[in-house]
Amino acid sequence: MISTIFITIAIALLSAPTASVSLLRGNNINIRLEIEGTPDDTEFAHDWKHFVDFQEVHQKKYDTLKEMEDRFAIFRENLRYIVYHNSQPNITFTMGVNQFTDLTAAEFKELYVGGYGKGNPLGSYGCKAFSSNAAGAPASIDWRDKGVVNPVRDQGQCGSCWAFSTTANAESVWAISTGKLLDLSEQELVDCATGKGYYNMGCNGGQMDSAFKFIINEGQCADSSYPYTSGTSMKSGTCQKCDSVVKFSSCYDVTPNDQIALKAAVAKNPVVVAIEADQRYFQSYSSGILTDATKCTTNLDHAVEVVSYGSENGIDYWTIRNSWGPTWGENGYVRIARSSSTNDPGVCGVAMEPSFISV
User: In the chain, what are the domain boundaries?
Assistant: 2-89, 106-358
Contact in structure between 304 and 328 (CB atoms under 8 Å): no
pLDDT over 70 percentage in the chain: 87
Annotation marks residue 302 as catalytic: yes
Catalytic residue among 127, 251, 296, 302: 302
The predicted model scores a pTM of: 0.87
Q: Measuring CA to CA, how many Å separate 120 from each of 160, 198, 200, 235?
A: 17, 9, 10, 22
Residue 8 pLDDT grade (very low, low, confident, very high; cuts 50, 70, 90): very low
* Residue 284 to residue 54: CA distance in whole angstroms: 13
pLDDT at 40: 59
Does the structure show a pLDDT above 70 at 344?
A: yes
Q: Residues 237-260: pLDDT tens digits?
A: 999 999 999 999 999 999 999 999
Does the structure show a pLDDT above 70 at 357?
A: yes
Q: Residues 161-220: pLDDT tens digits?
A: 999 999 999 999 999 999 999 999 999 999 999 887 888 899 999 999 999 999 999 999
Superfamily of domain 106-358: Cysteine proteinases (3.90.70.10)
Does the structure show a pLDDT above 90 at 149?
A: yes
* SS percent in the chain: helix, strand, coil, step 5: 30, 25, 45
Helix, strand or coil, per DSSP, at residue 277: coil
Region 34-50: what's the mean pLDDT? 71
Residue 24 pLDDT grade (very low, low, confident, very high; cuts 50, 70, 90): very low
Region 85-114: what's the mean pLDDT? 93
pLDDT over 90 percentage in the chain: 73
Contact in structure between 203 and 190 (CB atoms under 8 Å): yes
Region 124-146: what's the mean pLDDT? 91
Catalytic residue among 200, 203, 322, 348: 322
Contact in structure between 302 and 159 (CB atoms under 8 Å): no
158 CB contacts (<8 Å, ≥6 apart)?
Answer: 115, 190, 202, 203, 230, 231, 233, 234, 235
Helix, strand or coil, per DSSP, at residue 52: helix
Region 94-118: what's the mean pLDDT? 89
* Residue 115 to residue 330: CA distance in whole angstroms: 22
Q: Alpha helix locations (H) across the chain? A: 41-58, 65-87, 105-112, 161-178, 186-192, 208-218, 230-233, 259-268, 280-283
The neighbouring-strand residues paired with 33 are 5
Q: Residues 257-287: pLDDT tens digits?
A: 999 999 999 999 999 999 999 988 899 999 9
pLDDT at 121: 55
Residue 297 pLDDT grade (very low, low, confident, very high; cuts 50, 70, 90): confident
Q: Mean pLDDT over all residues of the chain? A: 87
Region 304-331: what's the mean pLDDT? 97
Kindly write down the DSSP assignment for every residue of 199-265, as one continuous string: -B-TTB-B-HHHHHHHHHHH--BBTTTS---HHHH-S--------B-----EEEEEPTT-HHHHHHH
Does the structure show a pLDDT above 80 at 292?
A: yes
Backbone φ and ψ for 193, nearest 5 degrees, come out as: -85, 55
Does the structure show a pLDDT above 70 at 28?
A: no
Contact in structure between 322 and 152 (CB atoms under 8 Å): yes
Q: Residues 56-75: pLDDT tens digits?
A: 999 999 999 999 999 999 99
pLDDT at 197: 82
pLDDT at 124: 67
Annotation marks residue 239 as catalytic: no
Does the structure show a pLDDT above 70 at 32?
A: no
Catalytic residue among 161, 203, 221, 296: 161
Annotation marks residue 251 as catalytic: no
Residue 122 pLDDT grade (very low, low, confident, very high; cuts 50, 70, 90): low
Q: CA nearest 330: which of 318, 341, 344, 340?
A: 318
Contact in structure between 251 and 212 (CB atoms under 8 Å): yes
Contact in structure between 203 and 230 (CB atoms under 8 Å): yes
Does the structure show a pLDDT above 70 at 20?
A: no
The neighbouring-strand residues paired with 154 are 324
Helix, strand or coil, per DSSP, at residue 318: strand
